[in-house]
Amino acid sequence: MLMLRQGISVKDGNAYCGDIKQSDAAVARAAKVDRRVVRSTIERIENTPELLALYSKLKSMLLLSEASPEIGCSSIEVVPTDATMPGIMAGIMDVLYRAGINVRQAVVSDPVDDKDSHLIIVTDGTLPGSVLSAVRSCRGVASVIIK
């Protein structure tokens, strides 16, 4: 699961984060498993066409939310009432658009498990309280966490 969540791809019998080759030991430390588990996982992925089709195309991605204050941005995490409900993100983006707020990044976390999916939004500047209230009142929003 770590490899999928972190966007670690498998190519030519090796694990990669972007173009940077990751040793079995490094991946094992991050996953808190023995390096032989990582090696056997990579071999299984390489030998299973369906898995290789997925893992050969994974990419890791920059997430600005933790560093948002350092770049003059704000970050919120939106917890949905039901992550399978369509239009949650559209409603929130409409609120931000109408308030004239520029969105730097919007990422849905953990697409592997809809029950734990959250929307992370990084915006330019500070979000006014009125905008946060409007986001909280959008359809499908259970809560908003200011990061």
For each of the domains in the chain, give its residue range(s) and CATH number, in order of start: 2-55 (no CATH), 65-146 (3.30.70.260)
The pLDDT tens digits for 47-68 are: 999 999 999 999 999 999 999 9
Over 18-86, what HEC string results? CCEEECHHHHHHHHCCCHHHHHHHHHHHHHCHHHHHHHCCCCCCCCCHHHHHHHCEEEEEEEECCCCCC
Residue ranges in the chain whose pLDDT is less than 50: none
The pLDDT tens digits for 89-101 are: 999 999 999 999 9
**pLDDT of 121:** 98
